[in-house]
Amino acid sequence: MLITLTYAPEPDAGVDATVLGHLLHKHPAKVQSFTAPVGDIQVFYPEATSERCTVAVLLEVDPVGLVRSKRFRGDAGALDHYVNDRPYVASSMLAVALGTVFRTAMTGRSDSYPELAAAPLPLRVEIPVVSTRGDEDDLVRRVFEPCGWTVSEQRIPLDEEHQDWGPSRYSGVTLTGRVRLADALRQLYVLLPVLDDAKHYWVGDDEVGKLERAGEGWLAAHPERDVITRRYLLHQRSLVAAAEGEGSPVPSAPSDAAAPLRVLRADAVLDALHDTGAARVVDMGCGPGALLVRLAKDRSFTRIVGVDVDARSLERAAKALRLDQASDAERARIELLHGSVVYRDERLRDHDAVVLMEVVEHVDPSRLGALEDAVFAGAAPRTVVVTTPNSEHNVLFPALAAGSFRHDDHRFEWTREQFRAWADEVAARHGYTVELRPVGIEHPEHGAPTQLALFRKADASVSQTPSDRAVSPGTPPTPTGSTGFAHGQDAQAVSERRTA
């Protein structure tokens, strides 16, 4: 499947069109290849002149492989599942590809051309084939025009030689308008699966957060917000209610637990902090502040710091914490800092604990050493709490394909043994002991859905429980399923990881 985006500045603007490469963080003179769970992605520029610059994203998928991996949630033995439109129709797979290769551009960050990144640009987007499933009439125009696009839609006939058969549900779509580049990318990320009314991956409660992040700045006032929300969340009523602020999503793990996994995870983190007596806590990669809100309600935490690389996430965290209405004492107690999990930050020293809740799996494996240095050597708290998915538990999610990750932004997911090996090695290098804890309902063979490591300084003046154990050096695990990304994207990905 293919999508192109063209930037053609006005002649009197005095701007070289090839600046698009800087805004997208992809060099116009190079063909770049990426491997993702959805398939092989190629990014290239068919045209790159000073007057006009076009970037193309080509995604190649294996339709037979997708069916056999249960991505269609259908019968892999049925012939009609192998004859499908997935290789060429713009869908959630293309949305994931866009999010993979343009993750930094979607945040609106550009160190070289910040003024252009923040301004509406004359853009043209061409999508050869989109699918409009369901009974919604004129859906392409209804979802794109309120975002500032002029829509040209060409319906594709069922058969060109039998026009009397009528049109298919497929269209070729061209969008033109003056739209901020980051907004354009985020709109495509949301609206392509909305048009298709389907997703190739398991949809859990984290989809609500993804919709909120990608829809920030344009979705709230959209006249078709309800339609977009409903179709993006695959008509799951509990998720739609959560997106509309009317309830909580259903549990994301197949268990009998009354609380969703995200709640059990936060509970486990708070328990670990209480076990160590931490009072001054840093939430690294805090996102929109779900854990910070829990910390703020607990008066045993006297100092709370949230750190994230994404300024917008920090703004959302401030709103969630209602800092604008807080007392002076509360604003002194809670601080939000712009920073990265992979760089040392002197502001984070002299705290009791650092929390990395569902963060490490969003960092490229090549940057895990930088994360380790920033947290364990730079901040060097007496306690570090790390949670991450247990990949062995993934087989219990019936709609999650074998070998796939729970989130399209995960760079890897560790087995229990891989996580133990990494934790042991880190602890040994930096003078910590480490205790591993399960989070969620444990399966007798596949373990709990989430795993937690509680690191404590070996010489810290806190009581040690019998389950604390000394560690010995070992070979750090090599995460599987990782992909290469352009410079700067690994830190940004951390801000996109969790909403609850």
Model pLDDT for residues 456-490, shown as the tens digit of each residue: 998 754 333 333 333 333 334 544 443 322 333 34
**Highest mean pLDDT, choosing among 47-56, 109-118, 229-238, 262-271:** 47-56
What letters, b where the CB count within 10 A reaches 16 and e where it falls short, cover 218-242? Answer: bbeebebbebbbbbbbeebebbbbb
Assess whether pLDDT exceeds 90 at residue 358.
Answer: yes
Residue 404's pLDDT is: 82
Span 49-66, average pLDDT:
86
Residue 467's pLDDT is: 35
Neighbouring-strand partners of residue 4: 56, 126
Assess whether pLDDT exceeds 70 at residue 144.
Answer: yes
Burial of 472 (0-12, 13-18, 19+ CB in 10 A): exposed
What letters, b where the CB count within 10 A reaches 16 and e where it falls short, cover 347-381? Answer: ebeebbbbbbbbbbbbbbbebbebbbbbbbebbbb
Mean pLDDT of the chain: 82
Amino acid at residue number 308: D
Q: Which helix (H) or strand (E) holds 320?
A: helix 311-321
Residue 39's pLDDT is: 79
- Phi, psi angle pair for 81, to nearest 5°: -75, -20
- Band of pLDDT at residue 136, cut at 50, 70 and 90: low
- Helix pair angle (225-232, 181-196), 10° resolution: 70
Euclidean distance between CA atoms 306 and 293, whole angstroms: 10
CA dihedral sign of residues 112, 113, 114, 117: negative
- Band of pLDDT at residue 65, cut at 50, 70 and 90: low
Residue 77's pLDDT is: 45
Q: What is the pLDDT of residues 21-55, one digit of tens each?
A: 999 999 999 999 988 777 789 999 999 999 999 99
